[in-house]
Structure 1
């Protein structure tokens, strides 16, 4: 699950209760979420020990879990801007190559996303000036409103199988 660097910095940086976090793109890091019955929280170093998992295994397990749930992704809207729905954790979709490969055929140019909050995802194409402007304005509105779980004002472009800041 992507987190803003500000949120990530609010957690302990070391020790058994420190969440397992990985540097990612722009101003985002990735954390791994444990659902109930484990407390609805981020995976910690202690959890890795208890579950006998390494970082690489954790990443593979998380990717497999996400891949198994992708049929629940919903695309809303019409070009030049789409929104995605995914049970309140839309930003998690940023970690799935399959989602962006399939959406690439529906936009003008490269896929560009705005993920201003964990549960808000806007999608457009790099060659749609109107779409880029709408996504940028929509992201700014989410930040201005002080939405819960803010992530990033930066737009990201899907290029050669990975994200880059636009």
Structure 2
């Protein structure tokens, strides 16, 4: 598969995250490939071009000769190459901000190998907020007032709403994320 383009995952907010929604005016083959993550967030896939990201449509996926699972695995494998050094930032009260270059922070939810490494900093289960594609905050569920603290981060006021993601709080159980309702 040396002709395979460099594919990356992107998290996007979708009002109807069941993946069955077609975007207004587009034929089903021309709609972006979606994979539900949790709450109102889906994973979309893009080809990383020199000056832009080109979202993969169902037609493109068929041309690539891949299924959704193979596409997802490829994109997640490529993700570390898009990241700067992952850094943890103490935001107070047990909340940790994570930075990795300014574009793909929210996609860190997809890196299964990251979460065991963060476990010593997150007592209990990881709770996460991704108010925009370049912001991710985490806290351990056993931290005092964990839900309230991370929910406040999920509602972070954004100067730039263009890359807004979600006001939801996410919890990691096993190797997957789901919406957390306290």
* Smaller-chain TM-score bracket: 0.7 to 0.9
Indicate whether 1:3 and 2:9 are aligned: no
Say whether the 8 Å CA contact 1:80–1:130 is kept in structure 2: no
- What's the Cα RMSD here? 2.6
**Residue 50 of structure 1 corresponds to which residue in structure 2?**
63
Aligned length: 165
**Residue 7 of structure 2 corresponds to which residue in structure 1?**
none
Give me the whole-angstrom Cα distance separating, in 2, the residues matched to 1:112 and 1:131.
8
SS state at 2:130 partner: strand
Change (3 A) 1:55 1:164: closer
State the Cα distance separating 1:124 from its structure 2 match: 0.6
**Residue 66 of structure 1 corresponds to which residue in structure 2?**
79
* TM-score (normalizing by structure 1): 0.83
Per-residue CA deviation, residues 43-90 of structure 1 (Å, 9 max, x unaligned), is 112222333322222112112112455673221226601111122221
Query: Which range moves more in the overlay, 9-18 or 87-96?
Result: 9-18
Is the strand fraction higher in 1 or 2? 2
SS state at 1:148 partner: helix
The runs of 5 or more residues in structure 2 that have no matched partner are 1-9
Change (3 A) 1:59 1:141: closer
Change (3 A) 1:44 1:73: same
Give me the whole-angstrom Cα distance separating, in 1, the residues matched to 2:68 and 2:46.
14
The runs of 5 or more residues in structure 1 that have no matched partner are none
Give me the whole-angstrom Cα distance separating, in 1, the residues matched to 2:16 and 2:38.
15
Off by >6 Å, runs of 4+ in structure 1: none
**Residue 32 of structure 2 corresponds to which residue in structure 1?**
19
Indicate whether 1:161 and 2:175 are aligned: yes
Is the helix fraction higher in 1 or 2? 1
Say whether the 8 Å CA contact 1:125–1:132 is kept in structure 2: no
Say whether the 8 Å CA contact 1:20–1:43 is kept in structure 2: yes
**Residue 147 of structure 1 corresponds to which residue in structure 2?**
161
Give me the whole-angstrom Cα distance separating, in 1, the residues matched to 2:60 and 2:82.
23
Indicate whether 1:81 and 2:90 are aligned: no
Give me the whole-angstrom Cα distance separating, in 1, the residues matched to 2:157 and 2:47.
26
